[in-house]
């Protein structure tokens, strides 16, 4: 068993798609100097050229946010680092914060320079409060360094208080402003009107680190990796039924077959790609499914399920999660989540016919087009992918 | 007299602009483990907001309790991976040791138990937080030991 694990780790670490960018040692001072010397337009061009897209899950092209905020007219602008990593099965940002905080800060500095911001805020989820002291020390050193270099940019931390929806960028802004974390209507986008109504760029922890690395080594180091629509690499959080759970940085574009061969075994029944709000892919579709924006996108969460797991229990757990975490402001999400949960329970208890599942599928599809924010819109991803692929397990 | 100072001190430290509301609420929870009605009223007064508004913000967040909590708050992760990997054994250990289930506080007021959503420790599931500190790779036995440590 021990040998098996070692062998599995060796196989993963020697795989041709395994890379090491985020956790590699880099000269941070050199990186800061490079950012200082680079013109704002050049920063945006370099990021555009790299093809970097948001690493939090939504995958929005990073350069468009930068350009929007750069062009927005305001004396005050903000950079926000989204460290509200709440998607079930995701823990890569925690590791990056623990081990490579300097690179996050350098990435924030690059964004600040690109858009002309003087303040940066790290919105850290309360579950990671134990990281605050260590992170604050690194921020103090960084802030001092920039002050000495006469670059006007200061970073500080703000804590969340245990609300999943605050990972959604406009909910995060509301929370930063001392309000209930209820999503805003878009437009206006944060790049135009963000924190306190000022132009704001919000990036995920990992996105900022890649932005920093692109500054240091140029767009080429990033875009030579990955596929046409999914450039670069990504840090994956691997958990569930695997012998080697943990953090792995892997090039984009791997098929789930390759992935399951590395992390799973012959009993791997399905992989949940992208957390509770992502897609459940059954073994029969591993070969045709690419991990990336052209296939199944992910913020990094990869949860493996063995054939011993009940898909009903898994879906039930997800729905309980969404019922609790729905902020409640829009009806499709608030009522929809509750009805989906109640619905599968009623079918299981034989209070409703098996056909009722089709009505629930319709409801889930409706939530996708009517819910106000990403939370409610994405509940249909796990619901539909689990019900369509494991219908018998849900209705019998 | 001292009671009022807690809120005033927090406001002094964090400011009274609207964006300081969360840090002030968090500060009070840190000191008193929850937000009592009086505190919420005092905070509302300091921020010149209606108490309903402040209450609305507090109750939105699961880590800003408005009911009394024990000295130590145990937050057991209930989300999928921890659920699959033995969350029940963790809850059983706590039930056996402290006679509480999620949502309850032990009779001596030392521990409160919450079932919370993903705490980002999935590669070492099941996991829990005691106050802010994470505990990972939990089993019935090591949960018992952890609670013993907090009791002594």
Both B52 and B91 in a single domain?
no
d(CA A158, CA A173): 11
* B50 part of a folded domain: yes
Dihedrals phi, psi of A68, to nearest 5 degrees: -60, -45
Tell whether B18 lies on the interface with A, counting CB pairs under 8 A.
yes
CB contact under 8 A, B19 and A161: no
- Residues A320 and A255 sit within 8 Å (Cβ to Cβ): no
Tokens of A23: 């956790």
CB contact under 8 A, A239 and B123: yes
Q: Which residues pair with A236 in a beta bridge?
A: A248
Both B119 and B50 in a single domain?
no
Give 10-residue mean pLDDT values along chain A (396 residues). 84 96 94 95 97 92 97 97 97 97 98 98 98 98 97 98 96 98 96 98 98 95 94 97 97 96 95 97 97 91 97 98 96 98 98 98 98 96 98 96
CB contact under 8 A, B61 and A160: yes
Tokens of B113: 């138990």
* Domains of chain A by residue range: 22-223, 233-306, 311-394
Q: Which residues pair with A157 in a beta bridge?
A: A122
d(CA A382, CA A369): 15
Q: Is B144 helix (H, G, I), strand (E, B) or coil?
A: helix
Tell whether A299 lies on the interface with B, counting CB pairs under 8 A.
no
Both B92 and B143 in a single domain?
yes
Q: Is B6 helix (H, G, I), strand (E, B) or coil?
A: helix
pLDDT of residue A58: 85
Query: In the predicted model, what is the mean pLDDT of chain B?
Result: 96
Both B139 and B79 in a single domain?
yes
Helix axes A62-71, A40-50, angle to 10 degrees: 160
Q: Do domains A22-223 and A311-394 have the same CATH topology?
A: no
Half-sphere exposure (Cβ direction) of A111: Cα atoms closer than 13 Å: 36
Tell whether B52 lies on the interface with A, counting CB pairs under 8 A.
no
What are the residues whose beta carbons fall under 8 Å from the beta carbon of A262, sequence distance 6 or more?
A8, A11, A12, A15
Domain A233-306 has CATH 3.90.930.60: no
* B67 part of a folded domain: no
Q: How far is CA B118 from CA A90, A180, A252, A308, A345, in A?
A: 9, 20, 25, 22, 23
Q: Give the pLDDT confidence of B75-118 residue by residue, as tens digits.
A: 999 999 999 999 999 999 999 999 999 999 999 999 999 999 99
Percent helix, strand and coil across chain A, each to the nearest 5: 50, 15, 35
Q: How far is CA A186 from CA A44, A183, A312, A384, in A?
A: 23, 9, 35, 26
Could you tell me the strand order of the sheet in which B128-130 lies? B111-116, B72-77, B128-130, B133-135
Task: Specify the CATH number for the domain of residue B22.
Answer: 1.10.10
CB contact under 8 A, A239 and B62: no
Both B76 and B51 in a single domain?
no
pLDDT of residue A105: 98
Largest CA distance in chain A: 70
Instruction: Choose the final residue of a domain: B60, B80, B103.
Output: B60
Cβ count near A178 (within 10 Å): 21
Domain A311-394 has CATH 2.40.100.20: no
Instruction: Give this complex's ipTM.
Output: 0.96
Q: Within the 122-141 window of chain A, which residues sit less than 8 Å (CB to CB) from chain B?
A: 125-130
- Residues A385 and A303 sit within 8 Å (Cβ to Cβ): no
Tokens of A235: 């840090």
* B35 part of a folded domain: yes
Q: Give the pLDDT confidence of B46-76 residue by residue, as tens digits.
A: 999 999 999 999 999 999 999 999 999 999 9
* B40 part of a folded domain: yes
Both B87 and B131 in a single domain?
yes
Instruction: Choose the final residue of a domain: B60, B83, B109.
Output: B60
pLDDT of residue A57: 84
pTM: 0.96
Both B139 and B117 in a single domain?
yes
Is the pLDDT confidence value at B138 over 90? Answer: yes
In words, the CATH class of domain A22-223 is alpha beta
Which residues on A lie below 8 Å from B27 (Cβ)?
A: none
pLDDT of residue B2: 52
Tell whether A247 lies on the interface with B, counting CB pairs under 8 A.
yes
Both B52 and B77 in a single domain?
no
pLDDT of residue A146: 97
Residue of A nearest to B64 (CA): A161
* B66 part of a folded domain: no
Both B107 and B45 in a single domain?
no
Which of A88, A161, A179 has its CB closest to that of B118?
A88
Structural domain boundaries enclosing B48: 3-60
Both B40 and B88 in a single domain?
no
Number of domains in chain B: 2
Chain A: give the shortest CA distance to residue B75, in Å.
10
Average pLDDT over residues B5-34: 96
* B65 part of a folded domain: no
């Amino acid at each position: 068993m021990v040998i098996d694990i070692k062998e599995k780790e060796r196989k993963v670490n020697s795989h041709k798609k395994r890379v090491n960018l985020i956790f590699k040692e880099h000269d941070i001072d050199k990186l800061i100097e490079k950012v200082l010397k680079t013109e704002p337009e050049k920063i945006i061009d370099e990021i555009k050229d790299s093809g970097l897209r948001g690493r939090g899950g939504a995958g929005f092209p990073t350069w468009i946010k930068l350009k929007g905020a750069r062009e927005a007219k305001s004396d005050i602008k903000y950079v926000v680092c989204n460290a509200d990593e709440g998607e079930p099965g995701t823990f890569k940002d925690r590791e990056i914060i623990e081990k490579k905080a300097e690179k996050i800060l350098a990435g924030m500095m690059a964004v600040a320079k690109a858009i002309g911001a003087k303040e940066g805020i790290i919105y850290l989820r309360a579950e990671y409060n134990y990281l605050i002291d260590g992170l604050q020390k690194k921020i103090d050193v960084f802030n001092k360094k920039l002050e000495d270099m006469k670059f006007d940019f200061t970073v500080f931390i703000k804590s969340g208080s245990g609300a999943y929806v605050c990972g959604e960028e406009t909910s995060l802004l509301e929370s930063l402003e001392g309000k209930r974390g209820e999503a805003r209507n878009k437009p206006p986008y944060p790049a135009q009107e963000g924190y306190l109504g000022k132009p704001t760029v919000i990036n995920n922890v990992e996105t900022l680190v890649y932005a920093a690395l692109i500054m240091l080594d140029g767009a080429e180091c990033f875009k030579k990796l990955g596929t046409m629509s999914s450039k670069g690499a990504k840090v994956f959080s691997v958990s569930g039924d695997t012998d080697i759970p943990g953090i792995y940085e892997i090039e984009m574009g791997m098929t789930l077959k390759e992935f399951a061969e590395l992390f799973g075994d012959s009993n791997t029944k399905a992989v949940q790609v992208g957390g509770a709000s992502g897609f459940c892919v059954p073994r029969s579709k591993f070969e045709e499914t690419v991990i990336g924006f052209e296939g199944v996108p992910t913020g990094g969460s990869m949860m493996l399920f063995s054939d011993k797991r009940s898909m009903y229990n898994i879906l039930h757990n997800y729905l309980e999660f969404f019922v609790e975490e729905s902020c409640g402001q829009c009806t499709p999400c608030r009522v929809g989540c509750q009805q989906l949960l109640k619905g599968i329970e009623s079918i299981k208890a034989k209070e409703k016919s098996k056909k009722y599942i089709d009505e629930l599928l319709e409801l889930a599809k409706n939530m996708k087009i009517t819910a106000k924010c990403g939370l409610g819109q994405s509940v249909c991803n796990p619901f539909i992918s689990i019900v369509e692929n494991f219908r018998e397990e849900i209705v019998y | 007299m001292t009671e009022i100072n807690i809120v005033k001190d927090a406001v002094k430290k964090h400011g009274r602009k609207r964006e300081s509301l969360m840090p002030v609420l968090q500060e009070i929870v840190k000191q008193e483990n929850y937000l009592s009605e009086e505190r919420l009223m005092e905070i509302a007064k300091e921020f010149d907001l209606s108490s309903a508004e402040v209450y609305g913000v507090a109750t939105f967040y699961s880590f800003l309790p408005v009911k009394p909590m024990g000295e130590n708050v145990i937050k057991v992760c209930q989300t999928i991976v921890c659920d699959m990997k033995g969350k029940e054994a963790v809850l059983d250990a706590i039930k056996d040791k402290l006679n509480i289930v999620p949502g309850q506080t032990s009779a001596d007021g030392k521990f409160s138990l919450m079932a919370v959503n993903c705490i980002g420790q999935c590669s070492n599931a099941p996991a829990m937080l005691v106050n802010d500190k994470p505990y990972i790779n939990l089993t019935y036995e090591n949960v018992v030991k952890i609670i013993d440590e907090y009791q002594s």
